[in-house]
Chains A and B, each alone.
Chain A
Amino acid sequence: MTNLVRYTGVRVIDPAAGIDRVQSVVLQQGVVVALDVAADALVVNETCAGDGLWLTPAFVDLCARLREPGPKQHGTIASETRAAAAAGFKHLVLPPDTHPVIDHGAVALQVIEKATAAGHAQVYPIGALTKGLEGKSLASMGGLKAAGCVGVGQARHPVASLDTLLRCLEYASSMGLTVFFSPEEAALASGCAHDGFMAARLGLTGIPDTAETIALASALLLVEQTGVHAHFGQLSCAGSVSLMRLAKDKGLPVTADVAMHQLHLTDAAIDGFNAMAHVRPPLRSEADRLALIAGVREGVIDAICSDHQPLNAAAKLAPFAEALPGMSTLETVLPLGLKLVADGELSPRRLIEALTSAPARILHKPIGALQEAASGVILIDPEQAWTVAYDDWFSAGRNTVFAGQAMRGRAQRLS
């Protein structure tokens, strides 16, 4: 065998296989070929000391906007998948609210081909649930599935009526497609910040947590009625964690994720009208943040996503309410996750699971596990210190609330 590289004394974390132990590992062109004593026994071309490092499957992100197809002033498939690769991600799910909308197989194919040509990460489009995301009539879900869509959804676009939503879920169920929800009741979501004291003091229109829980509750009831597989993404409040817990206890075919920044920030971050902290769903209260972390710890929330939304500098140069919502997040996911570990909120294994095997299971893809050839492997230095600076930043987005802040932990893609 050729090109065999051995890492000695590395902490291998592979939640899919139930592995979390310091050992040797041998890779051939980025694929794990031997572990532990078998790895020690192999004759290799090169040996690297892995002390203090973690070796895990490459990360899988359930929600990343790449700004392409679209006008591209905020980013491209090439720039954002490059940022993803630099941050340890190899697999990205793209929501359908692109321009044009991913409501036709041709758009989905174009996305997949462009990502393949760029060569940094695999992109998995979600198709539109309704034509043009207009919420009125069924999109061609069969064609979307054939083109490679991993599911269907509305992103944050409303569906005209519960009757229409019910028909969409029935049809998606027949197609064997998972429906991706970003639950939001449009009538309650016209504001720009969490409906709490901070919004009251700043005079900003609030978005109550019921904007999310009402949409989530009605979707869960329709999921129960139709039996469709449903995933609820970017949850933001304690009420949603309770509803997900009830649904899972009932045995419904549902999963959930939360954006990493929701586990760190609260609406305190918007003080001073800081437009960088204008995100949707909004940053909520400390009680919500703690409930979301507990949800991840207990597995009520399966996965952690980036909810990456790159924007150029001009997009945030407006009064808070008019500044476009969103944050460029891919490159801060790992250090923020490691901070949860350092704070004792999550175990290393649970963190890696929420970024690898848990999202892989939701996508029904053979990724996020070391034994899968397509998974990709990363090497993490959990102690490497760095500072968030746009000069040393791969995303085209100039919109992180963490600019200038010290971070700890970086990943390197081995395949």
Chain B
Amino acid sequence: MLDMLTIRRHAGSFEKLTVAIIGDIRHSRVARSEIHALQTLGAKEIRVIGPRTLLPKDFELLGVQVFEDMTAGLAGVDVAIALRIQNERMESALLPGSSEFYGLFGLTRERLKVASPNVLVMHPGPINRGVEIESEVADGPQSLILKQVNYGIAVRMAVLAMAVEGQLQESHQ
């Protein structure tokens, strides 16, 4: 929800947006929630990018475009969401190591050149600098990562307020 608020505040309407989610899709609740939310809100195109070991099976049936290559996957995207890579995935049978992952799937200034000129960069945090995202991108003008943190507080407050209100209404009845 906080990511949807962030996108709506900074990119406007969802109908025109191409959104890419990058990295460990397989183990990510964030990726699944965002795909459902973006589809519900009518996003134009949703992409997931990562190596096969981090992509769930038959994911394209969910209505997303699956890319195993960053350059192809990032071409023309309006929003790029990098996911946190858990350390225990590294040097397992899933990934050969963090430097190789960064080399192939790290979100860098260079890679973002193929994206839309006004591309927005997001990350659910906490970030691994130099693993899934370059510091200059994380701290750069296109980054909304700190905004996501702010909106996260607001969204949680709103959800709690609604939940408590619902309880109060029930107890009054």
Write the residues of chain A forming the contact surface with B, with a CB cutoff of 8 angstroms: 195-197, 199-201, 203, 206, 208
| Residues of chain A within 8 A of B12, CB atoms compared | none
A200 with B62: CB separation less than 8 A: yes
Residue with the highest number of chain A CB atoms closer than 10 Å, among B58, B59, B62: B58
Mask: chain B, 124-157; 1 = CB below 8 Å from A; 0 = not:
0000000000000000000000000000000000
Q: Considering the complex, which residues of chain B in the window 56-78 have a beta carbon less than 8 Å from any beta carbon of chain A?
A: 56-59, 61-62
Q: For B29, give its contact among A195, A199, A203, A208 (CB under 8 Å).
A: A203
Q: How far is the CB of A367 from chain B (nearest CB, A)?
A: 43
> In the complex, how many angstroms separate the beta carbon of B89 from the nearest chain A beta carbon?
14
A196 touches B32 (CB 8 A): no
Docked complex Cα distance between A206 and B56 (Å):
9
Chain A's interface: helix, strand, loop or mixed, by majority? mixed
Total contacts A-B at CB 8 Å: 25
Q: Which of B56, B59, B61 has the most CB of A within 10 A?
A: B56
B57→A201 contact, CB < 8 A: no
CA distance A199 to B57 in the complex (A): 8
Contact A197 B32 (CB under 8 A): no
- Compute how far the CA of A201 lies from the CA of B59 in the bound complex, rounded to whole angstroms: 7
Contact B57 A196 (CB under 8 A): yes
Instruction: Assess whether A197 is in contact with B29, with CB atoms less than 8 Å apart.
Output: no
Please tell me the number of chain B residues within 8 Å of chain A, measured between CB atoms: 8
Given A195-B57, A196-B57, A206-B57, check contact A201 B29 (CB 8 Å).
Answer: no
Cα distance A197–B56 in the bound complex, in angstroms: 8
Chain A residues near B58 (CB-CB < 8 A): 196-197, 200
Q: How far is the CA of A200 from the CA of B59 in the complex (A)?
A: 6
- B:84-142 near A, CB below 8 Å: none
CB-defined contacts of B61 to chain A, threshold 8 Å: 197, 200-201
17 contacts between A and B (CB under 8 A): A195-B57, A196-B58, A197-B57, A197-B59, A197-B61, A199-B57, A200-B58, A200-B59, A200-B62, A201-B32, A201-B61, A201-B62, A203-B32, A203-B56, A206-B56, A206-B57, A208-B57
Min Cβ gap A270→B in Å is 14
Q: Bound state CA distance, A3 and B32, in angstroms?
A: 68
- A268 to B32 alpha-carbon distance, docked (Å): 18
Which of A199, A200, A201 is the most central at the interface, judged by chain B CB atoms within 10 Å of its CB?
A: A200
Please name the residue on chain A nearest to B36 by beta carbon: A201
Roughly how many angstroms separate A7 CA and B32 CA in the complex, as a whole number?
61
* Chain A residues within an 8 Å CB radius of B59: 197, 200
- Min CB–CB distance A282 → chain B (angstroms): 13
- For the complex, give the distance between the alpha carbons of A52 and B61 in Å: 46
Q: Which A residue sits closest to B60, measured CB to CB?
A: A197
A200 CA to B56 CA, complexed, in Å: 5
> Which residue on B lies nearest to A204, using beta carbons?
B56
CB closest residue in chain B, given A195: B57
**Chain B proximity of A23: nearest CB distance (Å):** 52
Smallest beta-carbon distance A199→chain B, Å: 7
Question: Complex Cα distance A195/B58, Å?
Answer: 9
B32 proximity list for chain A (CB < 8 A): 201, 203
Give the 8 A-B residue pairs with the shortest CB-CB distance, closest first: A200-B56, A197-B58, A197-B61, A200-B59, A195-B57, A203-B32, A200-B57, A196-B58
Separation of A196 and B58 alpha carbons in the complex (Å): 6
A residues near B57, Cβ cutoff 8 Å: 195-197, 199-200, 206, 208
**Closest chain A residue, CB of each to CB of B59:** A200
Chain B residues contacting A203 (CB-CB under 8 Å) are 29, 32, 56
Interface residues of B in 14-66 (CB under 8 A from A): 29, 32, 56-59, 61-62
Q: How far is the CB of B88 from chain A (nearest CB, A)?
A: 15
CB neighbours of A206 from chain B (8 A)? 56-57
Nearest-CB residue, chain A, relative to B35: A201
In the complex, besides A199-B56, A203-B32, 8 extra interface pairs with C-beta distance below 8 angstroms are: A197-B57, A197-B62, A199-B57, A200-B56, A200-B62, A201-B61, A206-B56, A208-B57
